[in-house]
Each structure stands twice: as structure tokens, then as C-alpha cells.
Amino acid sequence: MNIKKEKMLPHPPEKIWKALTETDALSSWLMVTDFKAEVGQPFNFKYKDTVAATGEVLEIVAPKKLVYSWKQVGIPTQTTVTWLLEATEGGTILRLEHDGFEDQAMLDMHNTGWIQCLDKLEKLLNGPVAK
């Protein structure tokens, strides 16, 4: 089971790439993280000072594709998050695929979370300090 989201954003892929891969930007719209965009690099996502998920960067094709593993703390299943960026005349089509769910409840919980996070990402990109 998987989650698929697609969003058209009026920004170049490079700007969106920074929001997906730079530690401070990522921490501002997803969760606090020590993420580094390097293949093989492990990382943590924290929620309220507690590690909520762990992962490892699996693939990078800047600024078009980012893939990392995702393991929710306390849940045995490891999933995979893929970000795809496609430049268009009006900006970028951003696609999110989160694959590998074995449980409908976990899929539903993550689906809700991704909706909220993508809204935060869009606000960050459209904000007055976004570059």
C-alpha cells in the first residue's frame, strides 16, 4: 500500500530541492531533523524532542529525485519516501510517493500527516523570507 501526492508549485525545482534537502528548511516544515543529503547518510526526525522516525538517504538526483527509507519508531515496517520534481513552464510539479505500508491505519495516519506537511512546505516556499 502506498501514498501518492502531487502538487503544482510556482517555483523552480532548485528552490523546492533546497526545502527538501537543507536541514533547517526541512526542520521548519516536516520535523526537526539532522538530515544530510548524502547517499548512505542516516538521519532522525524528531517530534517534540523525541525521535519519531529514522531513515537513510538511498538515492539523490539533484534537483529531480530524492529517495530515503522511513521507519516510524515502534513500528517494525520500514517504508520508502520518494520525492520527484519535474520542471514545467509555470514552476514545478512535486510528486511524493510513500511506499511499503502493510497496515491501513498506518497508511491513513501518514496520509493525513503528509497533507499537513505539504501545506507547510507550500507556505514556506511562498513566504516572505523564502528564496
Domains observed in the chain: 2-126 (3.30.530.20)
Please compute the mean of the pLDDT values over residues 80-92 and round it to a whole number: 97
The C-alpha R_g of the chain, in whole angstroms, comes to 14
- 6-51 pLDDT per residue, tens: 999 999 999 999 999 999 999 999 999 999 999 999 999 999 889 9
pLDDT higher at 75 or 36: 36
Q: What type of residue is 124? A: L
Count of H-run helices and E-run strands, the chain: 3, 7
What is the pTM (predicted TM-score) of this model?
A: 0.94
